[in-house]
A and B are shown apart, each in its own frame.
Chain A
């Protein structure tokens, strides 16, 4: 199947860390992606991780990949009001021909 699971809602105080989780299905996925969607806008690529890595850090963003459990997470350090958005994880399918997206996780940052 192509079900990518995400929890739907997270609220976090400004300055705290936020963690968004995702469970994917295809163990042969080569790349996994995190996208951010701000209100009224399209999806913006935030970061990605190659499947032979278990961690990637990019400024305030840390991606963790647990291939055994097919679990992907995104940690945002020092969360800011501009981080309020919907976050989507996506996995590659069918030898990189397509992406399957999760349903998204809405993050609300409380000042």
Chain B
């Protein structure tokens, strides 16, 4: 979905480095999410934000932090990357004001992160 843009698309880095993954959206949605995807484990929620200044932990927030700089931007940071954080990371958005309460999430194309 081109309306949700993730950068970078691929990143290889070393253990202990600080990494930031960026997400921006042009959909005008108020809610944003960060997930990681690992083979056989599906999608796991890391953090989510319902608006600027609202940050909530998901299932697996340890080792990660986020910043909602503006309604359209939500970044994910790994303060000191470790190899088991190697995964595919997805940003998603949803609109709490959607008609009838139907609030599907819309995904970016993902960031493939490898930590050596």
Contact = CB atoms under 8 A, between A and B. Distances in A.
Interface residues of A, number: 24
Contacts of B4: 42
B45 A31 contact: no
Dominant secondary structure of chain A at its interface with chain B: strand
Nearest to A46: B104
Interface string A37-56: 00011111100101000000
B107 A44 contact: yes
B109 A41 contact: yes
B106 interface: yes
Given A31-B101, A42-B107, A50-B102, 19 more contacts: A33-B104, A35-B107, A41-B109, A42-B4, A42-B90, A42-B108, A42-B109, A42-B110, A43-B43, A43-B107, A44-B107, A45-B104, A45-B105, A88-B43, A90-B105, A92-B103, A101-B42, A101-B43, A103-B41
Interface of B: 1, 4, 40-43, 45, 48, 50, 90, 92, 100-110
